[in-house]
Amino acid sequence: MAFYKQTVRDIDIKDKRVLMRVDYNVPIENGKVTSDFRIVQSLPTIKFLQEQGCKIVLLSHLGRPDGKPDAKYSLRPAAECLGQLLEQEVAFSEDCIGANATNAVAALESGQILVLENVRFHPEEEAKDEASAGDFARKLAAHGDIFVQDAFGVVHHGAVSVSELPKYLPAVAGLLLEKEVDTITGVMEAPERPLAAIIGGAKIADKIKVLHRFIEIADFIAIGGAMANTFLLALGIETGKSLTEPDDVPIAKEIIEKAKAKAAHQPFVLYLPQDGVVATDMKDPKSVRIVDWDAHVIANLSHFPKQPPRQASQVQPNELILDIGPFSGSFIAGSVQLARTVVWNGTMGVTETVGKNNDPVGPFAYGTELIVEALMGHFGNKPFSLVGGGDTVAYVEERGMTNAFHHVSTGGGASLELLEGKKLPGVEALLDKEW
């Protein structure tokens, strides 16, 4: 489905003052941006506006400063990073409204850029009452002639700068927002098949709608991460001290049965881990081992020619499942070799733990790393890859691999809701395209 909202290409923006919502919610340490991925993704729209002679005012949030100024959440480092990327001076305002911001906007000339301070320094950004929201939106709108929404990561929010602000200015999409919506909806509505989905995360409740949708449209689904533990529990497999959601076991059983019903009528696989990497203590390497609870391949190989002990196929009461095992990782990687399109949302294990000598691939990230290698084409086939989800993108960013995939989404919650088929408030608030 073609993008149905107007973009910066559809209206006359030449020499106009443009108020552009970006997502510069980036990691900052010691006053420096440590990952510029989201800032880089905003450059195509910014450069397009510069080519049109626009005066560009950028609006964003950073973190959760509880509605008051906090130097820890200042956007100044993001403005400095943007200036370095563009190799030009980028102005910065100490506030997003008020005399300081108004004067800074008035001083702009064609092609120049101003970054306003964190919009969440004002509690009105999250205002629920119409009067406060409207007043704040009008103050922000005074900075521009046209509003451009390019912050895909927040378009599922009901914040004032997302949903209310477009009421007070002609509002269109930026090039990033258009690309994100087009790519994700395209994969869900007309994928090149076979379509595979690799879904991780902690809670089934967070992914239940997208799981149901993928059962309807995908050819293969693999479930990993802590969420898989609840599915294992539903199958009667012991999970020890692993993170599980016992209340969601009925949901897991419902999804399993729905998948079985589909598989009975057409080629389809819902894959759950058959082995895992477990430990009694994440910080104790000696407690780490592989448990083969279903495949019975790794356990047999590990103890050949002897009969595997019962413990080799059981997670003990004091152990936690922290990653998928080598058989499961290989099975999923093999399935990727048969796919033409893969959607990956959620890591397969505890990827936050670093390895020895600060190796970014920690002891419980090998399952995730194997999938990364498969998606990158290391084993032959390189399918179209759509990567989304906050933890997944953070892992890819940390590993410096954002360019290794066909599309890495800048939005976690927004991409998930789009995968589910939901309408996004920040998109719906924009002007409809005139066909």
Confidence (pLDDT) at 352: 78
Q: Name the more confident of 58 and 395.
A: 58
Q: Which single residue is written with the structure tokens 């064609």? A: 110
Q: Is 390 a catalytic residue?
A: yes
Confidence (pLDDT) at 360: 64
Confidence (pLDDT) at 260: 97
Average pLDDT of span 144-152 = 98
What would the pLDDT profile of 242-290 be if each residue is shown by its tens digit? 999 999 999 999 999 999 999 999 999 999 999 999 999 988 888 899 9
**Residue 432 DSSP code:** B
Per the structure block, which two tokens stand in for 148? 């451009």
Q: Choose the catalytic residue: 138, 203, 340, 399.
A: 203
Q: Choose the catalytic residue: 5, 16, 38, 55.
A: 38
Q: Is 426 a catalytic residue?
A: no
Q: Do domains 17-176 and 183-420 have the same CATH topology?
A: yes
- 359 has pLDDT over 90: no
Q: Provide the β-strand partners of residue 57.
A: 19, 114
Q: Is 174 a catalytic residue?
A: no
- 47 has pLDDT over 90: yes
The confidence band for 400, taking pLDDT boundaries of 50, 70 and 90, is confident
Biggest alpha carbon–alpha carbon distance for the chain = 80
Q: What is the mean pLDDT of the chain?
A: 93
Per the structure block, which two tokens stand in for 414? 């927004």
Rounded percentage of the chain residues whose pLDDT exceeds 70: 96
Query: 336 by DSSP, 3-state: which?
Result: helix
Q: Provide the β-strand partners of residue 197.
A: 221, 343
**What is the DSSP annotation of 90-137?**
-EE-S-SSHHHHHHHHHT--TT-EEEPP-GGGSGGGG--SHHHHHHHH
Class (C level, CATH) for 183-420: alpha beta
Confidence (pLDDT) at 390: 77
**What is the DSSP annotation of 4-61?**
-B-BTTSS--TT-EEEEE------EETTEES--HHHHHHHHHHHHHHHTT-EEEEE--
In whole angstroms, give the CA distance from residue 177 to residue 180.
Answer: 5
Q: Choose the catalytic residue: 63, 240, 413, 421.
A: 413
Q: Is 38 a catalytic residue?
A: yes
Average pLDDT of span 105-134 = 96
| Ranges of each domain in the chain | 17-176, 183-420
What would the pLDDT profile of 201-214 be if each residue is shown by its tens digit? 888 988 999 999 99
In whole angstroms, give the CA distance from residue 261 to residue 298.
Answer: 30
Determine how many CB atoms are found less than 10 A away from the CB of residue 192.
12
Per the structure block, which two tokens stand in for 407? 């599309």
Tell me: cis bond preceding 194? Omega within 30 of 0 counts: yes
3-state secondary structure 197-214: EEECCCCHHHHHHHHHHH
What would the pLDDT profile of 364-392 be if each residue is shown by its tens digit? 889 999 999 999 999 999 999 999 987 88
Confidence (pLDDT) at 399: 86
Confidence (pLDDT) at 362: 76
Q: Choose the catalytic residue: 377, 390, 421, 433.
A: 390
Average pLDDT of span 302-323 = 82
Contact yes or no for 175/8 (Cβ under 8 A): yes
Query: 216 by DSSP, 3-state: which?
Result: helix
Class (C level, CATH) for 17-176: alpha beta
The confidence band for 394, taking pLDDT boundaries of 50, 70 and 90, is confident
Confidence (pLDDT) at 309: 67
Contact yes or no for 353/364 (Cβ under 8 A): yes
What would the pLDDT profile of 330-357 be if each residue is shown by its tens digit? 999 999 999 999 999 999 999 877 666 6
